[in-house]
Amino acid sequence: MSVESASSPAARRILVVDDDPDITDIIDVWLRSAGYEVVTANSANKALHWLDTVHPELVITDLSMPGMDGMQLLEHIQVFDPTLPVLMVSGNAGIPDAVDATHRGVVGFQTKPLKREQLIRSVGDAIGGDGQVAESETRAIEGIVHRGSVMARLLERVRRAARGSSTIMIEGESGTGKELLARAIHRASPRRDQPFVAINCGAMPEPLLESELFGHVKGAFTGAASTRQGLFQAADGGTLFLDEVGDMPLSLQVRLLRVLQDGRVRPVGSTEEFPVDARVVTASHRDLEDLVAQGSFREDLYYRLNVVPIQAPALRERREDIPALVEHFLDDVHGRLGEGRRRFAPAAMDRLLAAPWPGNIRQLANVVEQCVVLSTSTVIPVHLVERALKHREDRVEPFDTAVRGFERQYLVRLLSMTGGNVSRAARLAGRNRTDFYNILRRHDLEAAAFRSR
């Protein structure tokens, strides 16, 4: 197994899975020559471990392998990330195998012997373009501060999802940056030059929301002094972001479903319908499956909106990003308030890293700002962080879960910091290399995945 970077930092990464090294070796050379970055795994199990750390844009897997075969790997991948495309290859598969694989969701099926041009064409068809990530896609996610693997994986998914026109549902706790992700999806999509229109469905009464979304004609209701275009039409050709869609009243859910099904919108009070082509991205901090079960959210609309689900991680699940986020917010406060540049004392940063963050990134931004404003010196002391945090620390998870979660985040952070250098990471952790390797194995982490990234 190997992880190496190609010459371009923006090369698209492909995970190649085959138990025959003769096959992985030649595919590796072919794809690198076409500008892709390649990671190889000699078993489906190893490939599954790699998924979490290498964030491939495509998986190419052999069908027949000892142990877990290609179809079983496909099933696991579809659970792990339903948007990750899989290209299947096989030495002796017949048409029924190819048909079966296609029905199960593979994007392509090739029989051995593989040929370079044909494989590169299939890869291009599967993920679009050539080996380089489109500049617009890279720019789109540049504004999202991150350093760790959790967000890298998510943003990879955002880039892939952005290319199509499917509806996207972003779920996550309040303050996790769902609108930021929606905007990134729009910027990375082919619709980037068209409007991005956002509305919070929970922030306005039903009649107003209806009029905002679908528009109205003059005289449609008291106060409708003139005809007004709705947001669906305003977002035509672009993206309509419906925040807190779980708060939308049932009667409007019916109208929304109709627009999604027909691609046409009828303003309030009008008998005329207008064609609309707006990609709908939704977000909710509420569990929509629960709302469906309770009968307060339509099941058919849920499935229509949830074609590509994206889970925005809580800040406690991406602690390795906290130092970079803190720097970002310090810059922001410095720019806005003109306060002298501050930094956090090491103990204060440790406290920020260990906090539970129930309010997520929004809370972190507030804490940073509060600390900057209240600090009388350039180095922010730990007690200011304590004071800013004290009102929110009321969530406690089970001890074992917390320890395991902390261990993994700690290891990911350590390996990110040391670029996958195990000796250095072990030394920083105060463990010997053998112990450290054992700990990494317990968490299914491989140091090589953090090198040359």
Partner 1 sequence: MTRVKDDLQAQLHALRERYRDTLPAKRTLISSLMDECRQSAWRNATTIDALRESVHRLAGSAGSYDMETLGAAAALFEAQIRGVLEGNGTWAVEQAFAEFATILDAHAAATPVEDGNTTEQ
- What residues line the site for partner 1 (CB under 8 A)? 20, 22-23, 25-26, 29, 33, 64, 91-92, 112-115
Buried b / exposed e over 413-431, threshold 16 CB at 10 Å, is bbbbbbebbbeebbeeeee
Q: Of 29 and 99, which CB lies nearer to partner 1 in the complex structure?
A: 29
The answer to whether the beta carbons of residues 204 and 211 sit under 8 Å apart is no
CB of 124 to partner 1, least distance (A): 17
Token pair in block for residue 353: 């890293």
Buried b / exposed e over 432-448, threshold 16 CB at 10 Å, is eeeebbebbeeeebbbb
Q: Of 67 and 346, which CB lies nearer to partner 1 in the complex structure?
A: 67
Q: Of 97 and 171, which CB lies nearer to partner 1 in the complex structure?
A: 97
Phi, psi of 309 (to 5 degrees): -85, 140
CB of 368 to partner 1, least distance (A): 47
Token pair in block for residue 243: 């925040």
Q: Of 120 and 152, which CB lies nearer to partner 1 in the complex structure?
A: 120
Burial of 115 (0-12, 13-18, 19+ CB in 10 A): exposed
CB of 60 to partner 1, least distance (A): 13
Adjacent-strand bridge partners of 196: 239
Q: Of 112 and 258, which CB lies nearer to partner 1 in the complex structure?
A: 112
CB of 20 to partner 1, least distance (A): 5
Burial of 322 (0-12, 13-18, 19+ CB in 10 A): buried
Q: Other C-beta atoms within 10 Å of 235: how many?
A: 24
Cα 1 from Cα 23, distance rounded (Å): 13
**69: closest CA among 122, 18, 123?**
18
Q: Of 63 and 234, which CB lies nearer to partner 1 in the complex structure?
A: 63
Phi, psi of 90 (to 5 degrees): -155, 150
Interacting residues of 268 by C-beta distance below 8 A, sequence separation 6+: 210, 211, 214, 215, 216, 217, 220, 221, 224
CB of 112 to partner 1, least distance (A): 4
Q: Of 115 and 264, which CB lies nearer to partner 1 in the complex structure?
A: 115
Q: Of 31 and 385, which CB lies nearer to partner 1 in the complex structure?
A: 31
DSSP code of residue 130: S
Token pair in block for residue 241: 């972001």
CB of 90 to partner 1, least distance (A): 8
CB of 268 to partner 1, least distance (A): 60
CB of 44 to partner 1, least distance (A): 16
